[in-house]
């Protein structure tokens, strides 16, 4: 599907050029975590930095923290198998990633208009940031691969329907996933970089932290107390509760919208916990979510311009083991949020349904004889993102 945010995508294209000039912000910190001599070891998150405090005494994480650099650097969710159990790239692999980033930087000039600011800074981020040296977002299991799905979840995954499944017909809105319907990217899928609209803003007030996402989602997180919803109350982003462990903000989330993509009941359909618009996740957007799904996130500010975001996802009915990611958010107060006008003027759903029905009617009437049909979704069935360091 290509309808997401049609009213905002041209603005985002301009913004991507403008804001990328500041990729280097937060990437050259003196305390950036350097790879250890053993590239299979992931050291603990540094806690030596002490953030400023808000007027009411909480650590101050307020600011704009886009994840665009991870997407632009082509560092994948699951680890390319050529890296094995290595958490970090070696010097030769880093040189490949750096060369690709330099090529990206040089694609934009310093002239007038759209190209006025260029994209200077991606190469600096790759070279100097901690995450620029990493082999994947996923850090557990140790091989950087997602745990296997349970047999029940695997069957639902294969039977699921979305706009990304090759060979699928469209008859009604339940043939599209929640992202295509402009409802939700899913959770925790929303916390990972996508192909565009990767802005994050953090707001704080006494007793609350708000994480505003540029694409489909705002999380209002109470700090302290139980704030536990009844089990039968769910939301697309779940029920989050936060607390402080030292200088780290810990967020626990349950009551995530459960269901699958195989059912025809729209009330029982769920968003995939991982969306294929994040580079390196399983294809198709049809992974189910059970009522047991939960996450624990840990946000630690490692310098004034960097937050390390760790997330552990547990759903024993779907994955045979928990999995954990660790990524970096880099401050960029010049990053501009644009309206994600996903459903405004969105005629694509009706168009896909109408054309799918017409195609089948023509085939039944013998009108498609000699016409070679191409299913553009075939390219989504296999991973097509490549980390330059893995080539």
Per-residue pLDDT of the chain (391 residues; tens, 9 = 90+): 444 443 343 334 334 433 444 444 444 444 456 789 999 999 999 999 999 999 999 999 999 999 988 988 999 999 999 999 999 999 999 999 999 888 888 776 555 544 444 456 888 899 888 999 999 999 999 999 999 999 999 999 999 999 889 989 999 988 998 988 889 999 999 999 998 889 999 999 999 999 999 999 899 999 998 888 999 999 999 999 999 999 999 999 999 999 999 999 988 999 999 999 999 999 999 999 999 999 999 999 999 999 999 999 999 999 999 999 999 999 999 988 888 888 777 788 888 899 889 988 988 888 877 777 778 788 777 777 889 999 8
CA distance 266 to 118: 45
Element (H, E) at 296: strand 294-303
pLDDT reported for residue 59 = 98
> Of 343, 25, 75, 19, which is closest to residue 193 (Cα–Cα)?
75
Are 301 and 247 within 8 A, CB to CB? Answer: yes
User: What residue ranges do the domains of the chain occupy?
Assistant: 36-86+137-344
Residue with tokens 């603990």: 44
Token pair listed for 160: 């699921």
Query: 336 CB contacts (<8 Å, ≥6 apart)?
Result: 15, 18, 19, 199
Q: How far is CA 4 from the centre of its chain?
A: 15
Alpha carbon of 224 to those of 50, 212, 218: distances in Å?
21, 20, 19
Residue 258 pLDDT:
97
Q: In angstroms, rounded to a whole number, what is the distance separating the alpha carbons of residues 168 and 175?
A: 8
Could you identify the residue written with the tokens 């967020």? 251
The pLDDT score that the predictor gives to residue 373 is 77
How many angstroms separate the Cα of 13 from the Cα of each of 24, 100, 107, 196, 374? 19, 20, 14, 8, 28
pLDDT for 122 equals 87
d(CA 274, CA 191): 10
User: Could you give the CA distance from residue 92 to residue 6 in angstroms, rounded to a whole number?
Assistant: 40
Alpha-carbon distance of 150 to 156, in angstroms, equals 10
Q: Are 48 and 247 in contact (CB under 8 A)?
A: no
The predicted structure's pLDDT at residue 46: 94
DSSP codes, 297-336 = EEEEEEETTEEEEEEEEE-TTTBSS-EEEEEEEE--TTPP
Predicted confidence at residue 391, as pLDDT, reads: 86
DSSP structural state of residue 295: E
């Amino acid at each position: 599907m290509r309808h997401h945010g049609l009213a905002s995508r041209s603005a985002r294209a301009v913004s991507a050029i403008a804001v990328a000039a500041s990729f280097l912000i937060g990437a050259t910190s003196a305390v950036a975590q350097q790879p250890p001599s053993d590239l299979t070891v992931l050291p603990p998150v540094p806690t030596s930095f002490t953030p400023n405090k808000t007027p009411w005494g909480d650590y101050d994480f307020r600011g704009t923290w886009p994840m665009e650099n991870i997407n632009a650097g082509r560092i994948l969710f699951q680890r390319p198998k050529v890296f094995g159990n290595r958490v970090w790239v070696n010097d030769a692999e880093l040189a490949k990633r750096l060369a690709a980033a330099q090529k990206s930087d040089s694609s934009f000039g310093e002239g007038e208009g759209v190209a006025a600011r260029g994209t200077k800074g991606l190469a600096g981020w790759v070279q100097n940031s901690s995450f620029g040296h990493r082999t994947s977002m996923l850090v557990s299991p140790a091989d950087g691969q997602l745990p296997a799905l349970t047999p029940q979840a695997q069957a639902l995954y294969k039977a699921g329907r979305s706009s990304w499944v090759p060979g699928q017909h469209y008859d009604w809105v339940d043939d599209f996933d929640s992202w295509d319907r402009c409802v939700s990217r899913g959770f925790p899928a929303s916390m990972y970089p996508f192909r565009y609209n990767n802005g994050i803003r953090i707001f704080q007030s006494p007793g609350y932290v708000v994480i505003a996402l540029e694409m489909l989602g705002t999380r209002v997180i109470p700090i302290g107390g139980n704030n536990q919803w009844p089990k039968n109350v769910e939301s697309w982003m779940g029920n989050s509760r936060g607390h402080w462990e030292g200088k780290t903000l810990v967020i626990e989330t349950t009551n995530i919208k459960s269901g699958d993509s195989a059912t025809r009941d729209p009330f029982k359909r769920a968003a995939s916990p991982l969306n294929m618009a994040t580079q390196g996740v399983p294809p198709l957007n049809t992974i189910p979510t059970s009522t047991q799904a939960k996450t624990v996130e840990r946000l630690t500010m490692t310098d004034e311009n960097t937050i390390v975001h760790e997330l552990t996802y547990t759903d024993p009915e779907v994955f045979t083991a928990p999995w954990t990611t660790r990524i970096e958010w880099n401050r960029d107060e010049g990053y501009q949020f644009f309206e994600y006008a996903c459903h405004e003027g969105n005629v694509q759903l009706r168009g896909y349904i109408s054309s799918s029905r017409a195609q089948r009617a023509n085939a039944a009437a013998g009108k498609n004889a000699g016409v070679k049909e191409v299913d553009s979704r075939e390219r989504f069935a296999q991973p097509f993102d490549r980390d330059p360091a893995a080539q």
